[in-house]
Amino acid sequence: MSDAALPLNDSDLSALYRKDRFEMPEGLIYLDGNSLGPLPKTVPPRMADAVSRQWGNSLVKGWNEAGWFKLPSVVAAQLEPLIGAEPGSVAVGDSTSINLFKVLSAALKMSGSRRRILSDSGNFPSDLYIAEGLVSLVGSGFHLMALPSDKVEAAIGADVAVVMLTEVDYRTGQRRNMRSVTQAAHAAGALVIWDLSHSAGALPVRLADCNADFAVGCGYKFLNGGPGAPAFLYVAPRHAESLVPTLSGWMGHSAPFAFESSYRPASGIEKMQAGTPPILSLIAFSTALELFKDLDLEALHARSLQLGDLFIAEMARRCPYLELATPRDHRLRGSQVSFRHANGYEVMQALIARDVIGDFRSPDIIRFGITPLYISHDDIIRASATLEQILRDRLWDTDTYRVRAAVT
């Protein structure tokens, strides 16, 4: 990953800064693209056409006439270069949790006598929940071991079937070294599943170069695919033909419209499809991915790191008592900056009320996604000044900001 310097002058970064391509309220500083990406301006007209012309006029003929049936493969092909995947190795559809169930259950079938799933106790909870549920379902002595982050790699031993990790930690933004972890797992005879939810679209991901086995990720964060956008999964081509899917849905059948009574898996990655694809969501997602067509992800991440450095430096100067939760080292950082504060929820509500949008993660993390597509140097300075004022004057300390919403 690059530490190369880029100028902080926005006028010199027109190839990266694309705020005019997003719907964004005037004066808003949006630092929450790591939770939900903003709306690309190209999406509403495409969606309107999909609803009124394709669905409205074509009706069921749209599956053939509008290319709906092939749309998951189209979106997969758009995603593959963004995550460093080989052609034909990505399937799109369902949620990240369902896709994790798919690849984890497939990996366990390949595990031989090994029975341990190894993960990080700070992993995104849904990943751990899926592993717990799958272990309960299959039995056979499988068990999940979730260790503190810094203990995981040393615990990769001969009893480990699958190492299940997130490339970028959702709370702190710490980035794991995909290459070294994958090499360590393979040396011990284990398979690796990577969750790319906080890295896809934010930084260069190199699944093929790192010899990854499996990966999953969501489409609604840095990829800007919209609320609940379809997720994706990756299977290394060396595993694809021998893989046996547990969720053997009709869209993963070799001939879905033959309507055979028994399952015959499709070849390659297609067997990992399950149910009917969500066409309207896929159209929005595909349209959003067009923003990345000519984008240099190395430069994007380098700029993100610079803006993150600026944010860290500003807060260290303005509020030296605020604890940084994110690594300073570029090699260990995704596209996120997080701080710890005992009243983090209230602080974030005060920020949001002043048009600086981040989010809160329990127990004490205030979290900011740094996306150079629509975040500028001036935005970081303004956000820092607003956060300083809130903390200095205890503007967060009101009953209004203590009321917890359903989504934090």
* DSSP class per residue in 363-392: TTEEEEE--TTT--HHHHHHHHHHHHHHHH
User: φ and ψ at 263, to 5 degrees?
Assistant: -80, 130
Q: Which residues are catalytic?
A: 124, 195, 220-221, 367
- Cross-strand bridge partners of residue 215: 194, 234
360 marked ligand binding residue: no
Is the pLDDT at 306 greater than 60? The verdict is yes
Q: How many CB atoms lie within 10 A of CB 249?
A: 18
- Establish whether 136 is an annotated binding residue: no
In this structure, what are the phi and psi dihedrals at residue 250, rounded to the nearest 5 degrees? -70, -30
Average pLDDT of the residues in 288-306: 95
Q: Does residue 7 carry a pLDDT above 70?
A: no
Q: Where does residue 80 fall: left (phi above 0), alpha (psi -120 to 50 degrees), or beta otherwise?
A: alpha
Q: Where are the domains of the chain?
A: 10-30+296-401, 44-292
> What CATH number should be reported for the domain whose range is 10-30+296-401?
3.90.1150.10
Q: Looking at residue 4, what is its pLDDT?
A: 42
Confidence of residue 145 (pLDDT cuts 50, 70, 90): very high
250 known member of a binding site: yes
Span 333-343, average pLDDT: 97
Does the N-terminal peptide bond of residue 256 adopt cis geometry, omega within 30 degrees of 0? Answer: no
Q: Do the annotations mark residue 276 as ligand-binding?
A: yes
Report pLDDT for 12: 46
Cα 353 to Cα 394: distance, rounded to the nearest angstrom: 14
pLDDT of residue 11: 47
From the candidate CATH numbers 3.10.510.20, 3.40.1190.20, 3.40.640.10, 3.40.50.300, the one assigned to the domain spanning 44-292? 3.40.640.10
pTM score above 0.85: yes
Task: State mean pLDDT over 57-61.
Answer: 95
